Structure 1
Amino acid sequence: MRYKNVCDRVYAVGGPGITGGDDCCVYLVDCGADLALIDAGLGRSVDNILRNVQSAGYEPHWIKYIIATHCHIDHIGGIAPIVNLYGPKVIAHELDRKGIEEVHDDLTAADLYGVKYTPTKVDISLRGEHEMIRIGDVDFHMIHTPGHTPGSISPFIDTDDGRVLFGQDIHGPFSPRWGSDLAKWKESMEKILSLNIDVLCEGHAGVYKGENARRYIESYLKRYGQSRSV
């Protein structure tokens, strides 16, 4: 399978069933004159991801931004090769910047996948709870959603098909090794639910639409509801 048309402006171009099981779900957003990539996978499937971008009708050099939702290797391992090829700017939260710009297996979990991480410069560092960045003709609302990692973000955009949230790794997992905080995660999930999203593009579980998006998030809140620590 080459890619999936998720909804207006959004395509899945990487991840389980598309490129590889070790990749997170990688999403491409059509921003008019520019393209934005949400995460970039582990790194082994970069060529396939870029071919999928072409199969969807776009050219890889049109990718002007890569939004790193957090600093785990299965989300950021493919960033450096794409930056080296086409030079897109990297957007990430300040609290996960160390894991992206330096080599820290405890933060990226690269050792768990048996790969070496190539550090990448963060060009636009987010610091607030809600920042807006315009890419092409699309406004990306960058919502800080700590819990899985300290600097996890969940961007959302408004499209003709409704509000689309890139809620990577809502399901966890959680570990003190990379700074997980279950209490903050629960607050982040409540914040996401308040956005009244129409489409959820999750980091590994794929796409949920309508009420299924809310039910997915609520199911994990219920699962971890009685837990007080990771």
Structure 2
Amino acid sequence: MRIAKDTYLVASGVQGCSLTDDFDCNCYLFDTGEGLVLFDTGAGRAMERIYAEIERDGLSLGGLTHVFLTHGHADHSAGAAAIVAEHGAKLLCGADTAAVMAAGEKGISLDKARAAGVYPPDYTYRSPRPDGIVAPGEAMTIGRMTVTPVSTPGHSADHMSYIVELGGVTSLVSGDALFHSGRIIYQATDDFDVAQSCGSIESLAARAFDALLPGHGMFVLSGGTRHAQVAMASIRSMKPPVALDLANI
């Protein structure tokens, strides 16, 4: 689904607009003029639906050159092994994300999520192997696009967001670090940390970005920084950001 010039939403589950499999996060694809770049890969249960969405947008999977991951949680990374093997794209993520994915289900808290009923008992995870590691602040140019990783721990210890500059528009691919209306997800995983999340939001709020492209829920195409400022208003008053409630869908 084209959402802006050279920018596409190609996956979104029940916690978004139900474009693909229910368990998928929002996955965004950019046309750089010299290849397609995908951010996050969904839960890996129905990759053919993501592929079909890309082709429905008039794009060729043969043009996919890079895949970036925001963090290791299954709804964001489980499709990576298949899409890299089948289409030859280069998989990139932070060093901490590479480590937790290599540790398998326990590393990404999938064991706890399955036990809590978030995933069905028969859900399996295939750990992807990154082709390269990105570091915070080290910008990468791909065609007409520049990607700058930003360390944003809190939702998970390995979390990375990305500043994407393309065609005069600055987008924040925020993964699960920040959502519409300045909300965050609270969860009982070992590496969720409210204080770290607040620090990450403070660093994001200091940046100017037009589009906010989060891992779940609604995206925005202009005024994206305002949503970080809403969260900052809570933080400045010594309150945590408001929780994004995805439980009763």
TM-score by length of 2: 0.81
1:139 aligns with 2:152: no
Structure 2 unaligned regions, length at least 5 = 242-249
Number of the residue aligned with 1:204? 216
Question: Which of 181, 185, 202 is matched with 2:197 structurally?
Answer: 185
Which deviations, in whole Å up to 9, do the C-alpha atoms of 1:185-226 show, x marking residues without a partner?
112112112211111011102311333x23433344455652
Measure how far apart 1:173 and its partner are.
Answer: 2.3
Moved beyond 4 Å, runs of 4+: 221-225
Q: Is the 8 A contact 1:7 1:161 kept in 2?
A: no
Trace 1:1-230 onto structure 2 (pairs within 5 A). Answer: 3=1, 5-15=2-12, 16-17=16-17, 18-105=19-106, 107-109=108-110, 111=114, 112-114=118-120, 115-127=123-135, 129-160=136-167, 162-169=169-176, 170=178, 171-175=183-187, 177-211=189-223, 213-222=224-233, 225-227=238-240
The answer as to whether partners of 1:63 and 1:86 remain within 8 angstroms in 2 is yes
Superposed CA RMSD: 2.2
**Alpha-carbon spacing, 1:137–1:101, altered in 2? closer, same or farther (3 Å):** farther
Answer 1 or 2: which has greater strand percent: 1
The number of equivalent residue pairs is: 224
Alignment identity in percent?
A: 23
| Stretch deviating more after TM superposition (73-82 or 201-210) | 201-210
SS in 2 for 1:191: helix
Deviations 1:50-75 (A, max 9, x none): 11111111111211111000011000
The alpha-carbon deviation at position 108 of structure 1 amounts to 4.2
SS of structure 2 residue aligned to 1:207: coil
Residue aligned with 2:157, SS:
coil
Deviations 1:53-107 (A, max 9, x none): 1111111121111100001100011111111211211111111212223313352
Distance in 2 of aligned mates of 1:40 and 1:178: 23
